Amino acid sequence: MQIEVLKSKIHRCKVTQAELHYVGSITIDEDLMDAANMVENEKVTIVNINNGERFETYVIKGERATGTVCLNGPAARKVQVGDIVIVISYCTVNFENARSHKPTLVFPDQHNRLV
């Protein structure tokens, strides 16, 4: 049996931009992506702590060391610049391996920098 488990999480990063007139996605600083073991085009769930919105999109690489977390396209309507969000990705693993699976968790500072 296969089950879906938490693969990666960027916990409590700050939205730096919201670009409505853009093809949908979330742009994330490549340093944060690397630290969270996320790849470009990976499906993610976004949880907005400020307003309770929860939605899915995919990741686009942002410029390194900029702290960029930008919601693009329709997702831009679900956030405000300055909102705090959690970015979550999942993976499918064999049930027996799920007990030993360890997700990658990233806790950036208030400027979306690694600490």
What confidence tens digit (pLDDT) does each residue in 64-83 have? Answer: 999 999 999 999 999 999 99
Which of 25, 89, 90, 100 is labelled catalytic? Answer: 25
| Amino acid identity at 8 | S
Catalytic hit among 8, 22, 58, 90:
58
pLDDT on residue 51: 98
Asked whether 107 and 8 are in contact (CB, 8 A), the reply is: no
Q: Residue 7: what pLDDT?
A: 98
Residue 76 tokens, joined: 């831009």
Residues 2-93, CATH architecture: Beta Barrel (2.40)
Order of strands, edge to edge, in the sheet holding 54-62? 17-19, 69-72, 25-29, 54-62, 43-48, 84-94, 2-14, 104-106
Per-residue pLDDT band at 23 (split at 50, 70, 90): confident
Question: pLDDT for 29-51, tens place per residue?
Answer: 999 999 999 999 999 999 999 99
**3-class SS at 32?**
helix
pLDDT of res. 64: 98
Average per-residue pLDDT for the chain: 97
DSSP count for the chain of H helices, then E strands: 2, 8
pLDDT value at residue 24: 79
89 has catalytic annotation: no
Asked if residue 115 has pLDDT above 90, the reply is no
State pTM to two decimals: 0.96
- State residue 61's pLDDT score: 97
H helices of 1-115, where?
Answer: 30-35, 95-98
Percentage, residues of the chain above pLDDT 70 = 100
Q: Name the residue with tokens 């920098």.
A: 113
